[in-house]
Structures are given as structure tokens and as C-alpha cells.
């Protein structure tokens, strides 16, 4: 009789295209056998009867701000928060740390910190900024997931937005390296001009802020980036797309055969501009939460399969930068803190709109793994792949409160929201990293490096 490290029994397993009851046997962090009723013994058994077993979420877009701004969020608290939300792999963005991840030395420094503190696996983005095009190859050879650039002001002086020449030179190089460029797509001229107009009139409300970052600013930036990508052959990934106008341009590019993917975030699907008006700074992000009509359109686009994946864009900050007493919304930090709630948000939407649960797994795990070179290890529940698993109960509710939110700072638009599900346990490569309200702080994740074949061939 076979002996395994772990058997998860009687779960409703969310496979690609279907959900069915099965037992999972795990050895050395890998799923080695899947059967309806599994014979054998294990050092540890987990009873998942009546619960759903999802592939662990791969969140391709978080900001942990370490090194340099660990008081905003770091690998320790950030990874514990992600594990509590059923996430087993995340990709940290390059801009909020000091130094930003724009050269090999800063990448290696950040990776070493993550290996010492993160309780789940992680990847690291590199940055594309003016003056660092010559650094991109060394970053690629060191295993970055891809590169990130901003078409509008970043809010951080350490990480400048990419001007048009930087974009063109950078896209050409990134294409040669076989990597992907992720873009924050909002037009800098449009957003800056509209902000100046509001400031001249002394207009600083939530509605005024939203008006300075209209759908047109997103759509224009997306269209320009696609045009540059057609010239250079650069694969693109558009982050946190918030409007159907921008999405239509991405869809048209896909139909022309371009290598383009797109994500949106749960906060654009669950909340609207009304919440920005009501909650103020805690609900400020860029692009902003849209009008309820646009929100409903985005949900329709999701159901129609126009979004490739979901990410959190977890972007926290200290309390004072989101102080409710800030009446000039332009002065507040623009980011939503909520990486813990992405999987539960998508399950809520699935239940509300009759979306199959395997589509949730596709958006949160399968598609990210396929896009960013992890599908040989992660992204679905299959023999031979990492045992990255989220155990979810649909029998109870989860109310987000400060006590069960594991981010460093407890401010979030999600606080007070009740989800119609619960994450009861999370396993990262077969090791339990979260169970019933408690992250397991002694576990260590792995820095996942992606080195493409064309880069390796040139080494």
C-alpha cells in the first residue's frame, strides 16, 4: 500500500472544465495521484467533504513595497494575507520598493528578502523606466516574470513613467528577450490636463477625481500601446483594465493575431463610483472605480470571456495616506488594499451570475500560469503539478473585518463586506500555510524565476 505525505479526501475538486469529487495524494509537494476513492495511507490527511478544492490562486499583480517601504507592506505580512485568501503564488510589482526593481542588483536584493520572509511562492516583475533599457537583458536572465511600465504618472519619484521613446526602445528589447510588457494604461497628457483644470477651479471631491481619469484616458493609452506593440512585436499584458472601451481595443488586437492579454480586478466588479463617493480615500485607485453602468458592462465582458485573468492589484499604504479626514482626494494614496479577497470575490460573482466555478479557477490560476510560463508546475489540479490548493466552503460566510484581514494596515474597501464563502485552508506545494483563520508563519515559499528558452540559448 502506498504511503503519501498528504491525502486530501472527498473534496469537490475544481478541474479545468468540470467539478467532480476526488481524493488527491501528494508526495514531495507534488500531486501524484487523483482518484475518486484513493487507497493508501498518508502522514497527514485532510477531510474536505462538502468543500471545494480550487487550484491556488496565482495573483500576477501585487505591491509589497519591500525593501525601503516595509512599513507600507512587506513579504511577511503580505504573503500571510495572500495565503489567507487562497493564493499560493503572487508576482510583486517593481515600483514601490526603494530601490525600485529596475536593475539586476535591486532584483537580487528583493528576491533574497522574499525567500527569507514569504510563506508562499512568488515571482518578481522588473521595471521599464527612462534610462534602463540596457538593464533589461540582465533582469531577464535573472528570472523576472516580465516588465512593467506606466503610461501615466506613477505617484513614486523612484519609478518614472515611460515616455514614448522609452516605450518603443523597451518594447523592441523585451520582444527580443521573449518577455511580456505589463502596462498601466492611462494617458498622461489627458489625466494631467484634466487634473490641472480641476485644481484651477478648486474642485477636489471624489467625483472630481474620477472625472480626471475618464474612460477616454484608458482607451487612448491602450490604443497607443497596441500600435507600438505592432511595430515592435512586443507581447503585452494590460493590467487593471476598467472600461469596455479599452477592452474592445484589446479584443480587436487579439483578433488581428497580436500577443496581448488583459486582466481586471475584483474591486472594479464589486464596487462602483458610488462607493468612492461614500467611502472616500480608502476607495481611491487608478483607474478609478467606474460608474455603476460601466461596472455592469465589465461584469458582462467577464462573463463573455473577454478578460483573460483576475488580479488583486493589492496596493496598500500607511493609514495617514488614506486618512478619512483627507478632503482633497487628489492628495490621498491611490491604491486598493485587498489581495486577501480576490478568490472569494470571484466566487461571489460566480454565485450571483451563475458562472461555473471552473471559470473562476481559469481566471485566477490556469490563465496566469499559461501566460507567464508556469503551466508546467502550476495553474491547475493535475498529477505531476505542484500541490497548490485552496479549500473553500460555500456553507458559511466570511465578513471582512480588521481582525481577520492579515495585511499590515487594516484599511480596505472590503472591510465590512460579507462574502458567501470561506477559505478554510490553503496548501502551498503540499504544505499547509493557512487554516481556519491562522496563517502558518514558519513555512517558506520559493522565488519562482522564469528564464525563457531564447534567453537561455544566448547565455
Pick the more confident residue, 157 or 24: 24
Average of pLDDT values for 47-57?
97
Indicate whether 88 pLDDT > 70: yes
| CATH code 3.20.20.140 region(s) in the chain | 56-371
pLDDT of residue 6: 97
Q: Is residue 317 within 8 Å of 333, Cβ to Cβ?
A: yes
Cell, residue 39: 487507497
Q: What percent of the chain has pLDDT over 90?
A: 93
How crowded is the C-beta side of 343, counted as CA atoms within 13 Å?
A: 38
Indicate whether 131 pLDDT > 80: yes
| Cα 170 to Cα 321: distance, rounded to the nearest angstrom | 32
Looking at domain 56-371, which CATH architecture does it have? Alpha-Beta Barrel (3.20)
Digit-coded pLDDT (tens) for 224-254: 999 999 999 999 999 999 999 999 999 999 9
pLDDT of residue 9: 97
pLDDT of residue 456: 44
pLDDT of residue 459: 42
pLDDT of residue 406: 96
Digit-coded pLDDT (tens) for 207-220: 999 999 999 999 99
Average predicted confidence (pLDDT) for the chain = 95
Cell, residue 109: 536584493
| Cα 34 to Cα 320: distance, rounded to the nearest angstrom | 50
Query: Which residues on adjacent β-strands are paired with residue 232?
Result: none
Q: What percent of the chain has pLDDT over 70?
A: 98
Confidence of residue 331 (pLDDT cuts 50, 70, 90): very high
Q: Is CATH 2.30.40.10 what the domain over 3-53+387-439 is classified as, yes or no?
A: yes
pLDDT of residue 1: 60
Indicate whether 180 pLDDT > 80: yes
Q: Which residue has the cell 488580479?
A: 311
Indicate whether 453 pLDDT > 60: no
pLDDT of residue 44: 96
pLDDT of residue 190: 97
| CATH code 2.30.40.10 region(s) in the chain | 3-53+387-439
Digit-coded pLDDT (tens) for 260-308: 999 999 999 999 999 999 999 999 999 999 999 999 999 999 999 999 9
Q: Which residue has the cell 488527491?
A: 24
| Cα 341 to Cα 201: distance, rounded to the nearest angstrom | 38
From the list 141, 149, 143, 145, the residue with the least C-alpha distance to 169 is 149
Q: What is the pTM of this model?
A: 0.96
| Cα 189 to Cα 257: distance, rounded to the nearest angstrom | 29
Indicate whether 457 pLDDT > 50: no
Q: Is residue 92 within 8 Å of 110, Cβ to Cβ?
A: yes
Strand order in the sheet with 121-124: 57-62, 87-92, 121-124
pLDDT of residue 402: 96
pLDDT of residue 455: 53
| Cα 306 to Cα 367: distance, rounded to the nearest angstrom | 12
Cell, residue 404: 481577520
Amino acid at each position: 500500500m502506498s504511503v503519501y505525505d498528504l491525502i486530501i479526501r472527498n473534496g469537490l475538486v475544481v478541474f479545468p472544465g468540470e467539478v467532480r469529487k476526488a481524493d488527491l495524494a501528494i508526495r514531495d509537494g507534488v500531486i501524484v495521484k487523483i482518484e475518486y476513492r484513493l487507497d493508501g495511507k498518508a502522514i497527514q490527511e485532510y477531510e474536505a467533504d462538502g468543500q471545494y478544492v480550487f487550484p491556488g490562486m496565482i495573483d500576477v499583480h501585487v505591491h509589497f513595497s519591500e525593501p525601503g517601504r516595509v512599513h507600507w507592506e512587506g513579504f511577511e505580512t503580505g504573503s500571510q494575507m495572500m495565503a489567507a485568501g487562497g493564493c499560493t503564488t503572487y508576482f510583486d510589482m517593481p515600483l514601490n520598493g526603494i530601490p525600485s526593481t529596475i536593475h539586476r542588483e535591486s532584483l537580487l536584493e528583493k528576491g533574497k528578502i522574499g525567500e527569507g520572509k514569504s510563506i508562499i511562492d512568488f515571482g518578481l516583475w522588473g521595471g521599464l523606466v527612462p534610462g534602463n533599457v540596457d538593464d533589461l537583458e540582465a533582469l531577464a536572465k535573472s528570472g523576472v516574470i516580465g516588465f512593467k511600465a506606466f503610461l501615466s504618472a506613477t505617484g513614486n519619484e523612484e519609478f518614472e513613467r515611460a515616455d514614448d521613446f522609452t516605450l518603443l526602445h523597451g518594447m523592441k528589447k523585451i520582444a527580443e528577450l521573449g518577455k511580456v510588457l505589463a502596462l498601466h494604461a492611462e494617458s498622461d497628457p489627458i489625466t494631467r490636463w484634466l487634473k490641472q483644470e480641476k485644481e484651477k477651479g478648486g474642485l477636489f471631491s471624489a467625483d472630481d477625481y474620477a472625472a480626471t481619469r475618464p474612460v477616454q484616458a484608458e482607451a487612448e493609452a491602450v490604443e497607443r500601446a497596441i500600435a507600438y506593440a505592432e511595430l515592435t512585436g512586443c507581447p503585452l499584458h494590460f493590467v487593471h483594465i476598467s472600461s469596455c472601451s479599452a477592452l474592445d481595443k484589446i479584443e480587436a488586437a487579439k483578433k488581428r493575431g497580436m500577443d496581448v492579454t488583459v486582466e481586471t480586478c475584483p474591486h472594479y466588479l464589486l464596487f462602483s463610483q458610488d462607493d468612492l463617493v461614500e467611502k472616500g480615500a480608502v476607495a481611491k485607485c487608478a483607474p478609478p472605480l467606474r460608474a455603476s453602468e460601466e461596472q455592469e458592462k465589465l461584469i458582462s465582458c467577464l462573463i463573455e470571456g473577454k478578460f483573460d485573468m483576475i488580479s488583486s492589484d493589492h496596493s496598500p499604504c500607511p493609514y495617514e495616506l488614506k486618512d478619512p479626514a483627507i478632503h482633497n482626494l487628489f492628495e490621498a494614496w491611490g491604491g486598493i488594499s485587498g489581495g486577501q479577497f480576490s478568490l472569494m470575490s470571484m466566487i461571489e460573482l460566480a454565485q450571483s451570475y451563475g458562472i461555473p466555478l471552473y471559470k473562476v479557477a481559469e481566471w485566477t490560476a490556469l490563465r496566469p500560469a499559461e501566460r507567464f510560463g508556469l503551466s508546467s508546475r502550476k495553474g491547475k489540479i493535475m498529477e505531476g503539478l505542484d500541490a497548490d490548493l485552496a479549500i473553500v466552503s460555500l456553507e458559511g460566510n466570511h465578513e471582512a473585518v480588521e481582525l481577520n484581514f492579515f495585511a499590515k494596515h487594516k484599511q480596505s474597501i472590503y472591510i465590512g463586506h460579507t462574502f458567501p464563502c470561506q477559505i478554510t485552508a490553503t496548501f502551498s506545494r503540499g504544505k499547509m500555510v493557512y487554516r481556519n483563520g491562522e496563517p502558518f508563519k514558519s513555512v517558506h515559499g520559493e522565488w519562482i524565476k522564469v528564464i525563457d528558452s531564447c534567453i537561455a540559448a544566448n547565455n
